[in-house]
């Protein structure tokens, strides 16, 4: 089913401003029979490698529907979706983004179409906003470290542990801790912004990052690969789904769900108002929140029982797992002044890292 | 509920229970509509107030977060404001902060212009109705002077939901109350109708011969019904009594004279002597006259009593009654004697009564006086207080005082049962007086003589 796989050459870099270049998908892939009577266009920020098997499951259950899948960077996806919503142009049938604040904004701007089924009605309140935006995954924001480089007794379990590790002058973590570049990654910004709301540790944490000259760079896959290869010793706030996927191959990669609290991301899926095939899109949406779809996503670590990555948190209070709710509160982070303030704070902290022409993703 | 077995009657006027049920249903339906309307109006108002407070809170928080930095307005949008707004969990949110020049500092572009001087404003945003608030924050710093405007709004789903919920709850509560009340109403109706059933049961359980008044405790509202029923049964009882009396009297009184007639007729058949035959024929004639008189009296008595019971009372002048009565006194009774003298007042004496019965009664009294009394016989009409009297007076001793009490009953000895009379005259008078709510009175005259009087109540508003 992976026939037709083609990876687009990196046409745009993380440095390119989305507003200047015409945004295009990073990769595309078709699933299902090419002569199927229905075809839907899905635009998503999820890597094809992770989401492909889930869509294979869907087209196997719905042979009448072909799924044209486009993998996008989160900021580009938001920009193109908002532009299409405002112009009323025909757009994708289903939008799935890890930058749920973008999705909330799109819904708030009236760009979504309502969808309701017994499956979506069974979703908890934080995973269903207005019957227009649905949380389809459960992915913890985790720390990963290279066990070759971090002695077992130093392995951080919480943010406080991490802050303590970074505090000493000239520690081995100096310049070796990576986290998202929140200007480039919508998801990175979202994690950082939600972190800032959760606890006072955030202030100490970015201070510690600043002191240890932490690296902010782009994209989950690159950061995790960097940790596995030893380029970085530790990475903070990377997506658990990618980390666990990578850890299956790399023995030295250890995934830690912080035990003070663990953010849990639920990718937001919505049917755009101008979607040409909303009914088929609704079928895919229902599949994604069904038991079958969840099993398929769980196999790719997209739908994880967060306690699986943080077994020590079992028996602790529920507040350890903090789902990022689909709610208008996320609009605050997108406010241009708020964003400017937040980015200014971030920029003051991080030295701009060297970056190559990488494939921007999450 | 009805115990009336006759299917033709049962249910002809509709079921009382059904009527009450319909009345209650109508009341409950109207009440329900009123409650629903009131609850919806209250719910909308309550929702409006509650969620307007959210808007006020959020807008105030945003307004407080506005600071001046290097002579420019800076808004550090508070998360708390949006958490407050997301208490309306399914509503979209808009916000905007404008500078004194009207330029957008941050927030949504292209929102509808807020009308001047209004705090709250209903508008639309991306195809959905919204309600928005405007809050101003004036700055008077050296570097910056002017008013910053904060607009915050949200869509109306939560308000509609809350209004609907309040309405629903109120209607459910009202519905439950209505159910309880309906249950109580059923009990109340049953309790209220129980006396009707009691009357029905009492009637049902009676023997057909029993026409005595019902003695069932009933509430005021249906006592008139029971009274009417009792009056009706009383009338029926009297009618049956009249019939029974007529039959009894007829068999008692007619058998003997008819047998005598037959014997006389048989004698005449065998008599050859014309002289004897003529005497027998004379006797047969006398007998036949008596018999016809007797029959008249019997029938009259029955008729008069029947009339008194069934003919509606009309206004009659007793003077006219007396005049008519005297005119019709059987001339055979007079038999050459002085006719009765009349003594009438100049003004009419009005009574409510049946003229025919009264005339018959007066005739009987006058006839008795003429037949058995001593001349002169005077018939007069007098008024005493609220009573009127028809007086018949003669100079004889009249009925001995010992028989006064039984004089009015049928075939009383005192009234002189004889071959010529059935003794029904005074019984008729008595019946007529009773039917007119009056009575028959006897009085011995002063210094001598006898007075029989029919005493009747005067018509309600007297002479007219």
For the segment A142-193, what is each residue's pLDDT rounded down to a tens digit? Answer: 999 999 988 888 889 899 999 998 888 777 888 899 988 888 888 889 999 9
* Nearest chain B CA: its distance from A175 CA (Å): 31
pLDDT > 70? residue A313: no
> Does A336 contact B at CB distance below 8 Å?
yes
Arithmetic mean of pLDDT, B13-29: 80
Residue-by-residue DSSP string for A151-169: -GGG---SHHHHHHHH-ST
pLDDT > 70? residue B217: yes
Residue A280: pLDDT band by 50, 70, 90 thresholds? Answer: very high
Residue A308: pLDDT band by 50, 70, 90 thresholds? Answer: low
Contact B126 A110 (CB under 8 A): yes
Contact A138, A264 (CB under 8 A): yes
Contact B75 A107 (CB under 8 A): no
Tell me the angle at which helices A336-349 and A201-211 cross, rounded to the nearest 10 degrees.
40
> Does A2 contact B at CB distance below 8 Å?
no
Residue A65: pLDDT band by 50, 70, 90 thresholds? Answer: very high
User: Which pLDDT score, from 0 to 100, does residue A181 have?
Assistant: 85
Contact A110 B125 (CB under 8 A): yes
Arithmetic mean of pLDDT, A217-226: 86
Three-state DSSP at A43 gives strand
Nearest one of B189, B58, B185 to B131, comparing CA atoms: B58
The beta-carbon neighbor of B93 closest among A108, A125, A336 is A108
Question: Does a cis peptide bond (omega within 30 degrees of 0) precede residue A125?
Answer: no
3-state secondary structure A78-132: HHHHHHHHHHCCCCCCEEEECCHHHHHHHHHCCCEECCCCHHHHCCCHHHEECCC
User: Which pLDDT score, from 0 to 100, does residue A11 have?
Assistant: 36
Min mean pLDDT across A48-57, A253-262, B128-137, B368-377 is at B368-377
- A/B interface, count of CB pairs below 8 Å: 56
The beta-carbon neighbor of B77 closest among A107, A129, A338 is A338
Chain B residue with Cα closest to A112: B126
Cα(A264)–Cα(A305) distance, integer angstroms: 10
Instruction: Give me the interface pTM, i.e. the ipTM.
Output: 0.83
**Which sign does the torsion angle of CA B79, B81, B83, B85 carry?**
negative
User: Which pLDDT score, from 0 to 100, does residue A358 have?
Assistant: 40
- Ordered structural domains, chain A, with CATH: 12-137+266-299 (3.40.190.10), 139-264+314-349 (3.40.190.10)
The beta-carbon neighbor of A331 closest among B75, B76, B82 is B82
> Does B75 contact A at CB distance below 8 Å?
yes
For the segment A27-37, what is each residue's pLDDT rounded down to a tens digit? Answer: 999 999 989 99
Output A40 or B335, whichever has higher pLDDT. A40
Query: Among residues 80-99 of chain B, which lie with CB inside 8 Å of chain A?
Result: 81-83, 85-86, 89-94
Cα(A290)–Cα(A293) distance, integer angstroms: 5
User: Which pLDDT score, from 0 to 100, does residue A353 have?
Assistant: 43
> Does A109 contact B at CB distance below 8 Å?
yes
pLDDT > 50? residue A356: no
What is the percentage of chain A residues whose pLDDT exceeds 70? 86
Query: Residue B384, exposed/middle/buried by CB under 10 A (0-12, 13-18, 19+)?
Result: exposed
pLDDT > 60? residue B341: yes
Give the H or E element holding residue A264: strand A262-265
Min mean pLDDT across A102-111, B332-341, B393-402, B418-427 is at B418-427
Min mean pLDDT across A222-236, A341-355, B34-48 is at A341-355
What are the chain B neighbours of A341 within 8 Å (beta carbons)?
Answer: 74, 76
Q: CA of A186: how far to CAs of A193, A202, B85, in Å?
A: 10, 18, 24
* Nearest chain A CA: its distance from B13 CA (Å): 55
Output A218 or A359, whichever has higher pLDDT. A218
Contact A108, A331 (CB under 8 A): yes
Arithmetic mean of pLDDT, A252-277: 92
* Nearest chain B CA: its distance from A183 CA (Å): 18
For the segment A176-190, what is each residue's pLDDT rounded down to a tens digit? Answer: 999 888 888 888 899
For the segment B417-441, what is each residue's pLDDT rounded down to a tens digit? Answer: 444 454 677 888 888 888 888 888 8
User: Which pLDDT score, from 0 to 100, does residue B427 have?
Assistant: 81
pLDDT > 80? residue A78: yes
> Does B106 contact A at CB distance below 8 Å?
yes
Q: For testing the chain A interface, which of B77, B99, B109 should be mutated: the one with the most A CBs within 10 Å?
A: B77
Give the H or E element holding residue A283: helix A278-289
* Nearest chain A CA: its distance from B117 CA (Å): 27
User: Which pLDDT score, from 0 to 100, does residue B10 have?
Assistant: 57
The beta-carbon neighbor of A332 closest among B77, B125, B126 is B77
Contact B128 A110 (CB under 8 A): yes
Per the prediction, chain A carries an average pLDDT of: 84
Residue A273: pLDDT band by 50, 70, 90 thresholds? Answer: very high
3-state secondary structure chain B: CCCCCCCCCCCCCCCHHHHHHHHHHHHHHHHHHHHHHHHHHHHHHHHHHHHHHHHHHHHHHHHHCEEEECCEEEECCCHHHHHHHCCCCCCCEEEEEECCCCCEEEECCCCCCCCCCCCEEEEEECCEEEEEEEEEEEEECCCCEEEEEEEEEEECHHHHHHHHHHHHHHHHHHHHHHHHHHHHHHHHHHHHHHHHHHHHHHHHCCCCCCCCCCCCCCCHHHHHHHHHHHHHHHHHHHHHHHHHHHHHHHHHHHHHHHHHHHHHHHHHHHCCCHHHHHHHHHHHHHHHHHHHHHHHHHHHHHHHHHHHHHCCCEEEEHHHHHHHHHHCCCHHHHCCCCCCEEECCCCCCEEEECHHHHHHHHHHHHHHHHHHCCCCCEEEEEEECCEEEEEEEECCCCCCHHHHHHHCCCCCHHHCCCCCCCCCHHHHHHHHHHHCCCEEEEEECCCCCEEEEEEEECCCCCCC
For the segment B307-335, what is each residue's pLDDT rounded down to a tens digit? Answer: 766 777 788 888 888 888 888 776 666 66
Residue A361: pLDDT band by 50, 70, 90 thresholds? Answer: very low
User: Which pLDDT score, from 0 to 100, does residue A15 have?
Assistant: 38
- Ordered structural domains, chain B, with CATH: 12-205 (no CATH), 211-310 (1.10.287), 312-464 (3.30.565.10)
What are the chain B neighbours of A125 within 8 Å (beta carbons)?
Answer: 89
> Does B128 contact A at CB distance below 8 Å?
yes
Output B101 or A95, whichever has higher pLDDT. A95
pLDDT > 90? residue A218: no
As separate numbers, helices (DSSP H) first and strands (DSSP E) second, chain A gives 14, 16
pLDDT > 50? residue A6: no
Chain A residue with Cα closest to B96: A335
Output A230 or B221, whichever has higher pLDDT. A230
pLDDT > 80? residue A7: no
pLDDT > 90? residue B261: no
Contact A329 B86 (CB under 8 A): yes
Tokens of A217: 């760079």
> Does B125 contact A at CB distance below 8 Å?
yes
Per the prediction, chain B carries an average pLDDT of: 82
Min mean pLDDT across A337-346, B77-86, B201-210 is at B201-210
User: Which pLDDT score, from 0 to 100, does residue B227 have?
Assistant: 86
């Amino acid at each position: 089913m992976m026939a037709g796989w083609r990876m687009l050459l990196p046409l745009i870099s993380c440095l390119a401003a989305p507003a200047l270049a015409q945004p295009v998908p990073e990769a595309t892939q078709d699933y299902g029979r090419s002569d199927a009577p229905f075809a839907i266009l899905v635009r998503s920020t999820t890597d094809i490698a992770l989401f492909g098997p889930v869509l294979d499951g869907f087209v196997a259950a719905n042979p009448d529907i072909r799924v044209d899948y486009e993998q996008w960077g989160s900021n580009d996806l938001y920009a193109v979706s908002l532009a299409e919503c405002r112009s009323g142009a025909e757009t994708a049938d289903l939008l799935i983004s890890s930058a749920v604040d973008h999705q909330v904004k799109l819904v708030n701007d009236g760009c979504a179409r309502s969808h309701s089924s017994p499956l979506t009605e069974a979703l908890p309140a934080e995973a269903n906003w207005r019957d227009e935006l649905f949380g389809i995954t459960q992915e913890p924001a985790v720390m990963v470290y290279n066990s070759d480089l971090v002695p077992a007794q130093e392995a951080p379990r919480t943010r406080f542990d991490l802050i303590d590790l970074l505090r000493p002058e000239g520690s081995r973590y100096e310049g070796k801790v990576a986290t998202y570049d929140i200007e480039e990654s919508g998801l990175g910004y979202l994690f950082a912004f939600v972190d800032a709301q959760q606890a006072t540790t955030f202030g100490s944490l970015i201070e510690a990052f600043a002191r240890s000259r932490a690296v902010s760079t782009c994209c989950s896959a690159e950061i995790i690969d960097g940790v596995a290869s030893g380029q970085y010793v530790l990475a903070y706030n990377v997506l658990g789904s990618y980390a666990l996927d990578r850890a299956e191959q790399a023995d030295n990669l250890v995934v830690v769900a912080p035990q003070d609290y663990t953010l849990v991301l639920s990718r937001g899926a919505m049917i755009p108002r101008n979607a040409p095939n909303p009914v088929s899109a609704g079928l895919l949406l229902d599949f994604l929140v069904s038991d079958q779809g969840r099993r398929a996503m769980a196999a790719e670590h997209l739908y994880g029982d967060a306690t699986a990555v943080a077994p020590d948190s079992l028996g602790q209070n529920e507040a350890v797992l903090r789902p990022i709710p689909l709610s208008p509160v996320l609009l605050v982070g997108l406010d241009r002044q708020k964003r400017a303030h937040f980015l200014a704070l971030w920029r003051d902290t991080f030295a701009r890292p060297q970056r190559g022409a990488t494939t921007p993703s999450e | 509920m009805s115990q009336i077995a006759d299917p033709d009657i049962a249910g002809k006027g509709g079921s009382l229970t059904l009527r009450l049920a319909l009345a209650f249903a109508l009341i409950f339906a109207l009440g329900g509509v009123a409650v629903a309307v009131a609850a919806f109006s209250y719910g909308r108002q309550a929702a409006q107030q509650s969620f307007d407070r959210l808007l006020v809170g959020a807008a105030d928080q945003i307004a407080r977060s506005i600071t001046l930095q290097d002579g420019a307005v800076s808004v550090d949008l508070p998360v708390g404001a949006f958490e407050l707004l997301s208490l309306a969990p399914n509503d979209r949110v808009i916000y905007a902060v404008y500078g004194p020049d009207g330029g957008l500092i941050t927030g949504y572009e292209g929102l509808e212009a807020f009308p001047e001087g209004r705090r709250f404003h209903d508008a639309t945003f991306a195809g959905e109705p919204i309600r928005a608030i405007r809050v101003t924050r004036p700055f008077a710093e050296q570097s910056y002077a002017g008013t910053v405007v904060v607009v915050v709004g949200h869509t109306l789903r939560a308000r509609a939901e809350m209004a609907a919920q309040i309405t629903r709850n109120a209607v459910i509560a009202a519905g439950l109350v209505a159910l309880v009340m309906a249950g109580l109403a059923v009990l109340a109706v049953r309790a209220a109708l129980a006396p009707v059933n009691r009357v029905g049961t009492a009637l049902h359980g009676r023997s057909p011969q029993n026409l005595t008044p019902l003695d069932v405790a009933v509430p005021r509202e249906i006592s008139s019904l029971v009274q009417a029923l009792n009056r009706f049964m009383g009338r029926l009882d009297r009618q049956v009594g009249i019939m029974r009396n007529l039959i009894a009297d007829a068999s008692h009184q007619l058998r003997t004279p008819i047998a005598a007639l037959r014997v006389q007729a048989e004698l005449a058949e065998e008599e050859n002597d014309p002289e004897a035959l003529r005497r027998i024929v004379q006797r047969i004639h006398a007998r036949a006259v008596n018999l016809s008189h007797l029959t008249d009296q019997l029938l009259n008595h029955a008729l008069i009593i029947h009339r008194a019971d069934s003919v509606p009372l009309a206004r009659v002048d007793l003077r006219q009654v007396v005049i008519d009565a005297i005119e019709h006194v059987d001339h055979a009774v007079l038999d050459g004697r002085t006719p009765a003298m009349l003594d009438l007042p100049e003004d009419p004496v009005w009574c409510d009564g049946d003229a025919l019965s009264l005339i018959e009664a007066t005739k009987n009294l006058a006839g008795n006086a003429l037949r058995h009394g001593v001349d002169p016989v005077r018939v007069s009409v007098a008024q005493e207080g609220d009573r009127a009297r028809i007086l018949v007076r003669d100079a004889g001793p009249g009925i001995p005082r010992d028989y006064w009490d039984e004089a009015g009953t049928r075939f009383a000895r005192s009234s002189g049962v004889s071959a010529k009379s059935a003794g029904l005259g005074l019984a008729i008078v008595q019946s007529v007086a009773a039917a007119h709510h009056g009575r028959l009175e006897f009085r011995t005259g002063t210094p001598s003589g006898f007075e029989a009087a029919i005493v009747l109540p005067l018509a309600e508003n007297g002479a007219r």
